[in-house]
Amino acid sequence: MWKDDDIRIMNILDSAEVNEKKQFPVFCPICGKKEGHLYFHKYSDNENVGGMWTWCSACKHSAHTRFKLSEWWKNLEIINFQELSSHPDYLEKNKIIIDEWINKLIQHNFIQSSTGNQMGAYTVFGNAESFQR
Ligand SMILES: [Zn+2]
């Protein structure tokens, strides 16, 4: 069902650039529909390593990688780590609440974007340890 062979789906991360005040869902970098989603999950509270998922509900492209997360990231409580896998079936089912959560976190942590400083996705969220699979 999911197509994980097109790395462009990772560009959803760039959509989270704060100054553009984008709200999830964002435009999919592959099919152009406004169905792009993003979620992170910290593996435990006292480390900053977690997983990152980007996916599009319309064209079903997805990507998953290990990610070094920013300190402010908080897992969404209803997301059960045991249900997560490399493909985002479970995340897709919860996409509405995930979009609300990430929009809220971005707004709460990055309201200072009025300073005009460009903050890219890597500043905002941390960085991927590797894009290789
Ligand atoms: Zn798409």
- What's the CA-to-centroid distance between 11 and ligand 1, angstroms? 11
Please give the distance, rounded to the nearest whole angstrom, from the Cα atom of residue 9 to the centre of ligand 1. Answer: 8
User: What is the CA(65)–ligand 1 centre distance, in A?
Assistant: 18
Whole-number Å distance, alpha carbon 60 to ligand 1 midpoint, is 6
- Cis previous bond, 88, omega within 30: no
The residue written with tokens 């560009």 in the block is 11
Closest residue by Cα to residue 58 from 30, 79, 85: 30
What pLDDT is stored for residue 116 in this prediction?
A: 46
From the CA of 133, how far away is ligand 1's center (Å)?
21
Each residue's pLDDT tens digit, 78-120? 999 999 999 999 999 999 999 999 998 887 776 544 444 445 4
Query: Which of 23-27, 41-45, 71-75, 109-113 has the lowest average pLDDT?
Result: 109-113
pLDDT of residue 84: 94
pLDDT in tens, 33-66: 999 999 999 988 778 889 999 999 999 999 999 9
Q: What is the pLDDT of residue 125?
A: 64
On the question of pLDDT at 121 being above 60, the answer is no
Angle at 47 (CA atoms; ends 43, 50), nearest 5 degrees: 35
How many residues are given for the chain? 133
Helix (H) or strand (E) holding 100: helix 95-109
HSE-up of residue 122 (Cα within 13 Å, Cβ side):
5
The residues spanned by each domain of the chain are 7-123
- Compare 14 and 8 and report the one with higher pLDDT: 8
